Amino acid sequence: MVRKIVRNAASGAAILAVIAGLSACQSPNTARPASDGGKMIHDTAPPTDIPDTLQRPAILVFSKTNGYRHVDAIPAATKMFDEIAAKNGWSVYYTENGATFSPEILAKFDVIVFSNASGNLFTEDQRAAFQMFLENGGGFLGIHAAGDNSHTDWGWYMTDIIGTTFTGHPMEPQFQQATVRIEDNTNPAMAHLPDAWSRTDEWYSFDKSPRQEGVNIIATLDESTYDPGEFHGTKLPMGADHPIIWNRCAGAGRVFYTALGHTAASYSEPENVQLLTGALEWTMRLKGDGCSPNALTTPAP
Helix (H) or strand (E) holding 58: strand 58-62
The share of the chain scoring above pLDDT 90, in percent, equals 78
Whether the predicted pLDDT of 229 surpasses 60 = yes
Whether the predicted pLDDT of 94 surpasses 70 = yes
Global pTM exceeds 0.85: yes
**Which pLDDT band, with edges at 50, 70 and 90, does 204 fall under?**
very high
The residues with which 112 forms a beta bridge, in sequence order, are 60, 140
Whether the predicted pLDDT of 37 surpasses 60 = no
Question: In the prediction, which pLDDT does 28 show?
Answer: 34
Read off the pLDDT of residues 13-25 as tens digits, 9 standing for 90 and up: 333 443 333 322 3
Lowest mean pLDDT among 96-105, 167-176, 289-298: 289-298
Lowest mean pLDDT among 142-146, 211-215, 296-300: 296-300
Whether the predicted pLDDT of 122 surpasses 70 = yes
Read off the pLDDT of residues 129-183 as tens digits, 9 standing for 90 and up: 999 999 999 999 999 999 999 999 999 999 999 999 999 999 999 999 999 999 9
Question: In the prediction, which pLDDT does 25 show?
Answer: 30
CA distance 263 to 142: 15
Report which of 287, 285, 288 is spatially closest to residue 297, judged by C-alpha positions: 285
Question: In the prediction, which pLDDT does 38 show?
Answer: 41
Rounded mean pLDDT of 57-69?
95
Question: In the prediction, which pLDDT does 39 show?
Answer: 53
**Which pLDDT band, with edges at 50, 70 and 90, does 72 fall under?**
very high
The residues with which 253 forms a beta bridge, in sequence order, are 250
Whether the predicted pLDDT of 9 surpasses 90 = no
Lowest mean pLDDT among 28-32, 115-119, 136-140, 154-158: 28-32
Question: In the prediction, which pLDDT does 6 show?
Answer: 35
Report which of 201, 187, 171 is spatially closest to residue 269, judged by C-alpha positions: 201
> What radius of gyration do the chain's Cα atoms show?
18
C-beta of residue 133 within 8 angstroms of C-beta of residue 103: yes
Question: In the prediction, which pLDDT does 213 show?
Answer: 86
Question: In the prediction, which pLDDT does 125 show?
Answer: 97
**Which pLDDT band, with edges at 50, 70 and 90, does 244 fall under?**
very high
